[in-house]
Structure 1
Amino acid sequence: MSYLTPEQIEKIEERLTEIEPRYNRLLLAASHRNYLSEQGAEYARHGYLRRLGTLRRCIENVFTLIPPDMNNIPDRNVLHDAQINVQSFVANVYGCVDNLAWVWLFESGLATKIHRNRVGLRSKHIEVRATLSASLQSYLQKIDPWLDYLIEYRDALAHRIPLYIPPGGVPTKNVDAYNDLSQRIMDALYVLNDGFEYERLSAEQEKLLVFQPLITHSVKETTAHFAFHAQMLADFLTVEELGYKILDELSGLAKKP
């Protein structure tokens, strides 16, 4: 039985088909505009948009390696490849947000007035937010919880425990049977010295595991586990939306005398 319901899988797969056309529309919108500064253009075209292309490809790779309707436990190498893509995805989502902050500062002529260590769009970046329109400040306040989630996972990836996909979980109803088999497996291996029984019991125990498409980092530090199919799509759409918000902000600059 799949971790996700048929309705959830259908919704995820429908949203997946939107990623490519959304990426292409934003690519055209952000790459073809006339920027006021070389640095702003570079951070938009070679920073934000390059990262956005990486996000698109990471989504494609993860969905190919581990489809949303997968219920068997993936091969170890498949899990490892998916983890690599999830890790790259999170790092580049974080990078997209920072790139957009720099685009705004270069285009508005404020890049030299705010120290680089204070550049960003999170709630702590008071100086940067104060230069934005009231509507964009309100939007950023609305997505503050998302920005907090992003920094937690990015910091864990960069500085502490890397993100990973657990190979399988034991449903509550199977815990007792799983533990009983664990003891019998140890007995078969170390007491009975019976390799055939060990293999038989191990295969029986594996049937009790259920694959859960979740990402996590430290078991003690994380605030939540996320279903990575839906989370990756949501993150892409948020980064896309934020990109359009910054483009609108830049259009406002062009209208000023």
Structure 2
Amino acid sequence: MPYTDEQQNDLRDGYVSAHSDMRDLTLECLREADTTDVAASKEHLCHGAARRLGVMGRAMQRMFELFPADTDRPLPMESLHDVQINLHAFVMNVYGVFENSAWAFVLRHNLLPTIGSPLNVSMFREATRKHLPLTVADRLSSDAMTQWHTDYLKNYRDALAHRIPLYIPPKVLTKEECERFNALEVEKQGLVGRVDWDRINAIWAEQEAIGSPCFTFLHSLEDGNASRVVLLHPQVLSDSKTVIEFGRLFLASWHEYC
């Protein structure tokens, strides 16, 4: 379903704000990296979180350029693949920012012996979270953050890394459009042996023009409730806002620990 004019304006404004804030947060990561003498901690903040934020910002930019919120025709498959490439990079690095932040914190305060295992180093594991400053721990354990991490981020990141990659359907078809598309497909298959390339190319062109753009993504089509349909542009902006808000809160107090 297309966005309304008001939604398109809100998405454009949200993108401009998020892109600027992400650049600022990247610089803040680099500044904060200089506040510790622990080389491994510095690396996770400078070459881990900050680098990921740069990739996220660029991936978000490319998604909004390639697939603007006011798009009114289905994207060519090459462009759609480029959007998906950037979506994959974005989601993986959203997840990674939290992991790098956790490692930067644990290493700065020499908490790995206390935590007991590298597998316990995570912003979303109690073994790490109980050592965080209370403002950061409270934010991570809030209902909103817990639901976002459990139902969306971990689910979609794990699917991308281990199971079915995130997928943007190429188009949305009405019943009539679907019938026309299928009829053209039958005709096209019948022309293969005759090598009527003019007609085959005409069919390809008509099929590509049928339908409306799909502004959603998901992963598995067979995974039941684990893969729900997600609106692309609002989710990218929501993820960006979550990372920015968390990053600011974390960097303001990561020199402290409980």
Name the TM-score, length of structure 2 as normaliser: 0.85
- 1:212 partner amino acid: C
Tell me, yes or no, if the aligned pair for 1:102 and 1:111 is still in contact at 8 Å: no
Does residue 1:31 correspond to 2:30, yes or no? Answer: yes
* Pairs within 5 Å for 1:1-257: 3-33=2-32, 34-114=35-115, 115-122=117-124, 125-142=125-142, 143-148=145-150, 149-170=152-173, 174-176=174-176, 178-179=178-179, 182-183=182-183, 186=186, 190=190, 208-221=210-223, 222-252=226-256
Tell me, yes or no, if the aligned pair for 1:16 and 1:233 is still in contact at 8 Å: yes
Residue 136 of structure 1 and its aligned partner are, at CA, apart by 2.3
Distance in 2 between residues matched to 1:185 and 1:78, nearest whole Å? 22
Distance in 2 between residues matched to 1:100 and 1:216, nearest whole Å? 27
Distance 1:244 1:217, change over 3 A: same
- 2:103 partner amino acid: W
> Identity across aligned pairs (percent)?
29
Residue 197 of structure 1 and its aligned partner are, at CA, apart by 7.7
Tell me, yes or no, if the aligned pair for 2:67 and 2:83 is still in contact at 8 Å: yes
- 2:3 partner amino acid: L
Residue 187 of structure 1 and its aligned partner are, at CA, apart by 5.5
Distance in 1 between residues matched to 2:82 and 2:23, nearest whole Å? 26
Deviations 1:52-90 (A, max 9, x none): 000000011111111111020111111111111111111
Distance in 2 between residues matched to 1:41 and 1:184, nearest whole Å? 58
Distance in 1 between residues matched to 2:128 and 2:74, nearest whole Å? 45
Distance in 1 between residues matched to 2:215 and 2:141, nearest whole Å? 30
Deviation larger for 89-98 or 128-137 = 128-137
Distance 1:165 1:111, change over 3 A: same
Deviation larger for 208-217 or 152-161 = 208-217
Tell me, yes or no, if the aligned pair for 1:188 and 1:194 is still in contact at 8 Å: no
Tell me, yes or no, if the aligned pair for 1:178 and 1:205 is still in contact at 8 Å: no
Over the aligned positions, Cα root-mean-square deviation in angstroms equals 2.6
Distance in 2 between residues matched to 1:248 and 1:177, nearest whole Å? 54
Residue 176 of structure 1 and its aligned partner are, at CA, apart by 5.0
SS where residue 89 of structure 2 aligns?
Answer: helix
Deviations 1:107-140 (A, max 9, x none): 2220233211121122xx1211111233322211
Distance in 1 between residues matched to 2:30 and 2:185, nearest whole Å? 59
Mark the runs of 5 or more structure 2 residues left unpaired by the alignment.
Answer: none
Distance in 1 between residues matched to 2:82 and 2:185, nearest whole Å? 30
Mark the runs of 5 or more structure 1 residues left unpaired by the alignment.
Answer: none
Aligned length: 247
Deviation larger for 45-54 or 198-207 = 198-207
Name the TM-score, length of structure 1 as normaliser: 0.85
Residue 219 of structure 1 and its aligned partner are, at CA, apart by 0.8
